[in-house]
Amino acid sequence: MNKLQTAALLIILMSFFLHIKKLRSTPQYLKSLLISGKMTSGRAYSLDYLRLLATLFAIALHALKTAAEGAGTGSSGFINLFTMIFLTCNTLFIMNSGALILRGKDESLLTFYSKRFARVAIPLFCYYSIYILLSTRFFNEGFLHGVKMSVYQMISGPIDWTPHFWLIYVILSLYILAPFFKVLVRNLSEPMLHGLAVLIIVFQCFNVFLPFLGISQGFSLMIRGWEGVFLLGYYFTSPAGRKHTALFTGLGIIAFIGSAICLYTVPGYETILYAEGSPVMILLASAMILLFTAAEKKLPKPRAVMNFLIKYSYSILLVHWAVLYFVRKSSLITGAGFGVIGNAGVSFIATLLLSAVCAFVFDNTVVFCFQILWESMTGFIHNLKKKGNKNL
């Protein structure tokens, strides 16, 4: 047994004993591992459903692209149309994050950063370890050297095995600024919020469409790209934004129809859809968010399966690329001859189911141990601080 296998076994054993300890002290602990305890009767579920929808779109997007590439199918209007729909996942994730964080309760900077590190950064680095091992190039010179190089790479950003991790790095970067953005948007009057939203969308149109038309422009906003999309998540879920549900839903429909036509008729139009903070994606995502939030009082409480998928949606997003890789290598997919759409559909279902299983197991072993370690460290520091204050 090598050092990696030994470390994995120790983590699994540690997680087992920690779960036993929690099971003895916490009623219905096993149930809490399967469904979220936050699904209370008075909760609005719109953002939960949107997060799950974005996760499903991300898996569907990658399943479709890999199926098309595997079949040797070039870019077609039909595939690009589905790609446009599924590609809203990036904008939905960032808008949803902006809505959740900027509308959240007030916290101290240390509390805010500590919680996000535990909930977002620790799972990211733990799942990154899966892709580090799959890449098979980091541990060629020994265990300790591999750990050091892995840490360096995680700090540097995604590798070729983690093309979808760029989104998580963007969200983490936005979380660093989120407490300050929260103060900004909460102190804006309703007319000022409308003005900010219009400026963000207009300048994104300038940033994307003018270069596409061969026109350079020297104007820029400090809040542009994904920063602007993050702020728009707050706007579209606020009372001010909801007043314009009909307007932005209509603009979203127009953007979809217009883009569908352009995909078939305008060469290179895909660059507009793939651009950072694409205004087309903003309008499509805003229409989805506004429709979900308008219906949030009518949305049913998620049942067992839906609740499970919502609870583990972040981890499913992180692990799905590795699962899709093995699913695509399976003879069940490659030799079935379902066609591009059929192969993409089978890949999507298989990847979603296997990713959910992997997320459940990995979250409750590796991620769980590191989160408990982090909670113990922060709790110890907090107790020391309290004792110091009492002594003063």
Query: Is the model's pLDDT at 39 over the cut of 70?
Result: no
User: Residue 144: is it exposed, middle or buried by C-beta count within 10 angstroms (0-12/13-18/19+)?
Assistant: exposed
Residue 125: pLDDT band with limits 50, 70, 90: very high
* DSSP state for residue 117 in the 8-state scheme: I
Mean pLDDT for the chain overall: 86
**Of the candidates 328, 282, 287, the residue with the CA atom closest to the CA atom of residue 87:** 282
Query: Would you say 267 and 221 are in contact if contact means Cβ atoms under 8 Å apart?
Result: no
Q: What is the pTM of this model?
A: 0.90
User: What is the tens place of the pLDDT at every residue in 337-372?
Assistant: 667 788 888 899 999 999 999 999 999 999 999 999
Query: Is the model's pLDDT at 73 over the cut of 70?
Result: no
Distance CA 30, CA 32 (A): 5
Please give the structure tokens belonging to residue 164. Answer: 């979808």
Cα-atom radius of gyration of the chain, to the nearest Å?
Answer: 22
* pLDDT-wise least confident of 6-15, 90-99, 194-203, 364-373: 6-15
Residue 80: pLDDT band with limits 50, 70, 90: confident
Query: Is the model's pLDDT at 381 over the cut of 70?
Result: yes
Query: Would you say 288 and 98 are in contact if contact means Cβ atoms under 8 Å apart?
Result: no
**Of the candidates 122, 103, 286, the residue with the CA atom closest to the CA atom of residue 178:** 103
* pLDDT-wise least confident of 23-37, 112-126, 226-240, 259-273: 23-37
Query: Is the model's pLDDT at 60 over the cut of 90?
Result: yes
User: What is the tens place of the pLDDT at every residue in 233-252?
Assistant: 999 999 999 999 999 999 99
Mean pLDDT of 258-286: 87
User: Pick the residue with more confidence: 232 or 378?
Assistant: 232
What integer pLDDT is reported at residue 89 of this predicted model? Answer: 95
Query: Is the model's pLDDT at 51 over the cut of 90?
Result: yes
Residue 12: pLDDT band with limits 50, 70, 90: confident
Residue 346, C-beta contacts closer than 8 angstroms, at least 6 positions apart: 332, 333, 336, 338
Distance CA 214, CA 212 (A): 5
User: What is the tens place of the pLDDT at every residue in 284-304?
Assistant: 999 999 999 888 878 888 888
Torsion over CA: 46, 48, 50, 53 (sign): negative
What integer pLDDT is reported at residue 44 of this predicted model? Answer: 67
First vs last Cα of the chain: how many Å apart? 52
Query: Is the model's pLDDT at 336 over the cut of 90?
Result: no
What integer pLDDT is reported at residue 321 of this predicted model? Answer: 95
Query: Is the model's pLDDT at 128 over the cut of 70?
Result: yes
Mean pLDDT of 94-122: 91
